[in-house]
Amino acid sequence: MIIAVDGPTASGKGTIAKALARRFGLPHLDTGLLYRAVGYQVSLYEGDPDNPAEALAATNFPDELLGHPELRSEATGGLASRVSVHPGVRKALLERQQKFAGQPGGAVLDGRDIGTVIAPNADVKLFVTASVEARARRRWQEMHDRGESHTLLEIEDDLRRRDERDRTRAAAPLVVPEDAFVLDTTELDKDASIAAAIDVVLQATGQQPCP
C-alpha cells in the first residue's frame, strides 16, 4: 500500500505521515528532507540556491547529510523552497523518491508532489492543509522549543512566500490531487489530526474505521 501525503509547510503532514507509517507498518520518507539537503549543500559551498546549475550540483549530497540537525532549521527550509523550483533538481531527486515508493509492501511519503508526480497511482492520497496563521503558530512553537528566535509575523511572511513559490513554480507545483482527501488541521490538535488521517486510510482501503 502506497500512501501519499501532500500539503504546504507546517500543515502537519510530516507528523501525520510518520504516524500512518507506524500504524500500518510501512517505511516513511520525508521527501522535503531531500530538498533541504540540497539547499543546505548549496549553502555549505556558499553557492546560490537560485542558480539552477549550482542547485543541481548539490543533488549529489552524501546520504549521511540527511541526518544533520541543521536540515530542520527555518533557514534551511527557506533554501529548500528555493532550490525546489528548478526542474533539474526535481528530476534528479525523482528516481530516488519513486524507488522508495515502489518497494515491496508499499510506503508512506510526504511532500508537495507525491500524489501528482512521485506516486500518482498511490492507494491513498491525503492533502493536509491549515490556515497560514495556524501553521505559523505551530512553526513558532517548534522554533521556540529549539531555542530559535523569530517573531510570529516573520514566520507568517515566510510561509506566504513559500506557499507562493510552491504553488506557482513551473515544475510540479503544489496542487490538490483530484482524487485526494483534503484534511484541514486548522482546528485540530496533533492527536485528532492523526486519528482523522488513520480513518481516511481505513475507509479508503475498505477497513473498519476507528470507533
**Interval 89-93 mean pLDDT:** 92
79 vs 170, more confident:
79
d(CA 50, CA 29): 25
**Interval 147-166 mean pLDDT:** 90
- Taking only the tens place, the pLDDT of each residue in 128-148 is 999 999 999 999 998 888 888
Residue 121: DSSP 8-state: T
Output the nine-digit C-alpha cell for 165: 513559490
- Give the pLDDT of residue 209: 57
Q: Indicate the pLDDT class of residue 172, thresholds 50, 70 and 90.
A: confident
209 vs 6, more confident:
6
> In this prediction, what percent of the chain has a pLDDT beyond 90?
79
- Give the pLDDT of residue 2: 97
30 vs 172, more confident:
30
Q: Indicate the pLDDT class of residue 208, thresholds 50, 70 and 90.
A: low
The candidate with the shortest Cα–Cα distance to 157, out of 33, 9, 6, 1, is 9
Angle CA 96–175–207, to nearest 5: 75
d(CA 87, CA 93): 10
The candidate with the shortest Cα–Cα distance to 137, out of 163, 120, 159, 121, is 159
- Give the pLDDT of residue 170: 82
d(CA 157, CA 160): 5
Domains recognised in the chain with CATH numbers = 2-204 (3.40.50.300)
d(CA 33, CA 22): 19
Residue 200 sits at φ, ψ, to 5 deg, of -60, -45
**Interval 184-188 mean pLDDT:** 96
